[in-house]
């Protein structure tokens, strides 16, 4: 049986569209018929709001499995899409402090073993991470085959990019299987001169091969779908942002070899 791949969605900066990308990429891959698992490792736990979970779903998740209070099968949740399953962040997202969670991730192999086990049962595992290269993101990257970096198309966009690229480079030394899928420009406003200028600047200043040609436009439908608890690729598939995520899924499925 072929083994699937783990795609980590990471960025140094917060609020750049990681969760939106993770949720929509996972949904678009699942709609292609790939057995997909979406895992939320960010203690903010935002995936629970937009992944299209069935009403009345379980709120326990990865942090509860990590703490040993829930079995794995209890935290793998079905969604409205037959091929998409989700592991939420769990009760850590309701807690004021995350120290135990961070320490357990850093000091144990639970996350690594979970992602390795998940690859054996799925075609793709998409992992949402907190901003920055802290212990959670490092552990995720150590167990991933691919990394995708959303970059919000705004004037300060480039400032933090070297840090995350350096971090991924360092982790690739201990995890040689890790490849960078690229930088994905998000929230691009094609109608705005400023946004077009930033896009041109980003493409000029970063190595060409690193920045994906396809971009995700800024579209109200994306945030509206999230507020309604659904990925935009499910709620509004004709929207340009949804189409961008579908194209991203096609590109990655081809690279993974499951097209």
Ligand X SMILES: Nc1ncnc2c1ncn2[C@@H]1O[C@H](COP(=O)(O)OP(=O)(O)OP(=O)(O)O)[C@@H](O)[C@H]1O
CB of 3 to ligand X, least distance (A): 27
Strand ranges of the sheet holding 146-152, from the earlier edge strand across to the other edge? 77-78, 84-87, 36-40, 124-128, 5-9, 146-152, 179-186
Is residue 199 part of the contact set for ligand X (CB under 6 A)?
no
Alpha-helical runs (H) found in the chain: 18-31, 47-50, 62-67, 72-75, 99-107, 110-121, 135-142, 161-174, 193-205, 220-227, 232-235, 240-256
Closest CB to ligand X among 67 and 228? 228
Picked from ligand X, Mg ion, none, the partner binding residue 41 (CB below 5 to 8 A depending on kind) is: none
Pattern 43-82, binding to ligand X, x per CB under 6 A?
A: -x-x------------------------------------
Per-position b or e across 101-116, b if 16+ CB within 10 A of its CB: bbebbeeeebbeebbe
Question: What is the three-class DSSP state of 56?
Answer: coil
Of these, 31, 138, 219, 235, which contacts ligand X (CB under 6 A)? Answer: 219
Report, in Å, the least distance between residue 257 CB and ligand X. Answer: 28
Q: How many residues bind ligand X (CB under 6 A)?
A: 20
**Under rule CB under 6 A, residue 91 binds ligand X:** no
What are the φ/ψ torsions at residue 69 (nearest 5 degrees)? -95, -10
Question: Which one of residues 14, 82, 155, 162 is an interface residue with ligand X (CB under 6 A)?
Answer: 14
Smallest gap from Cβ 217 to ligand X, in A, equals 6
Which of 211, 213, 214, 246 is CA-nearest to residue 232? 246
Beta carbon of residue 227, minimum distance to ligand X (angstroms, whole number): 8
- Contact of 64 with 90, CB cutoff 8 Å: yes
223 binds, among ligand X, Mg ion, none (CB under 5 to 8 A by kind): ligand X
Q: CA-to-CA distance for 9 and 124, rounded, in angstroms?
A: 13
* Residue 14 contact partner, candidates Mg ion, ligand X, none, CB within 5 to 8 A by sort of partner: ligand X
145 binds, among ligand X, Mg ion, none (CB under 5 to 8 A by kind): none
Figure out which of the listed residues 186, 195, 230, 243 binds ligand X, where binding follows CB under 6 A.
Answer: 186
**CA nearest to 222, candidates 191, 208, 243, 204:** 243
**Residue ranges binding ligand X (CB under 6 A):** 14-20, 42, 44, 46, 131, 186-187, 216, 218-219, 222-223, 226, 241
């Amino acid at each position: 049986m072929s083994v699937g791949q783990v795609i980590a969605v990471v960025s140094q900066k917060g609020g750049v569209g990681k969760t939106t990308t993770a949720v929509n990429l996972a949904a678009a891959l699942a709609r292609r018929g790939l057995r997909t698992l979406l895992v939320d490792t960010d203690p903010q736990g935002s995936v629970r709001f937009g992944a299209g979970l069935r009403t009345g779903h379980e709120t326990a998740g990865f942090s509860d499995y990590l703490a040993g209070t829930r079995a794995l099968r209890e935290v793998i949740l079905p969604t409205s899409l037959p091929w998409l399953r989700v592991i939420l962040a769990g009760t850590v997202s309701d807690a004021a402090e995350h120290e135990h969670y961070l320490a357990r991730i850093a000091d144990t192999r639970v996350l690594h073993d979970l992602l390795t086990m998940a690859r054996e049962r799925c075609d793709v595992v998409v992992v949402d991470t907190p901003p920055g290269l802290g212990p959670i993101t490092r552990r995720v990257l150590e167990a991933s085959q691919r990394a995708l970096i959303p970059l919000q198309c705004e004037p300060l966009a480039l400032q933090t990019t070297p840090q995350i690229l350096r971090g991924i480079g360092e982790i690739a030394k201990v995890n040689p299987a890790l490849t960078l899928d690229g930088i994905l420009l998000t929230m691009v406003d094609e109608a705005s001169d400023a946004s077009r200028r930033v896009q041109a600047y980003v493409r000029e200043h970063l190595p060409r091969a690193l920045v994906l040609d396809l971009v995700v436009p800024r579209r109200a439908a994306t945030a509206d779908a999230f507020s309604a608890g659904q990925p935009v690729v499910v709620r509004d598939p004709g929207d340009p942002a949804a189409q961008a995520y579908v194209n991203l899924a096609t590109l990655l499925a081809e690279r993974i070899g499951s097209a």
